[in-house]
């Protein structure tokens, strides 16, 4: 299924930490869709607090 995420930062590490061919991202994950809000016409979201759950 689909997951919602918020990209907070895109960055590169100094070479002393190894070679990465692509930039890295700091991401906040949200819990899976849970409740549809008929007044808003959207799903309500809440942030995942641990291991994408």
Q: Residue 6 has what pLDDT?
A: 95
pLDDT at 12 over 60: yes
The domain ranges of the chain are 5-44
Q: How far apart are CA 4 and CA 45, in angstroms?
A: 9
Beta pairing partners, 5: 29
Which pLDDT does position 11 carry in this prediction?
Answer: 97
How far, in Å, CA of 31 to CA of 21, rounded? 30
**pLDDT tens-digit profile of 21-52?**
999 999 999 988 888 999 999 988 888 887 65
pLDDT of residue 14: 94
| Cα 40 from Cα 19, distance rounded (Å) | 45
Q: Bigger pLDDT: 6 or 3? A: 6
Residue 2 has pLDDT above 90, yes or no: no
């Amino acid at each position: 299924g689909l997951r919602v995420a918020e990209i907070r930062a895109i960055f590169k590490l100094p070479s002393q930490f190894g070679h990465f061919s692509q930039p890295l991202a700091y991401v906040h994950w949200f819990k899976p869709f849970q409740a549809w809000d008929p007044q808003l016409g959207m799903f309500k979201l809440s942030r995942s607090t641990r291991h994408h759950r």
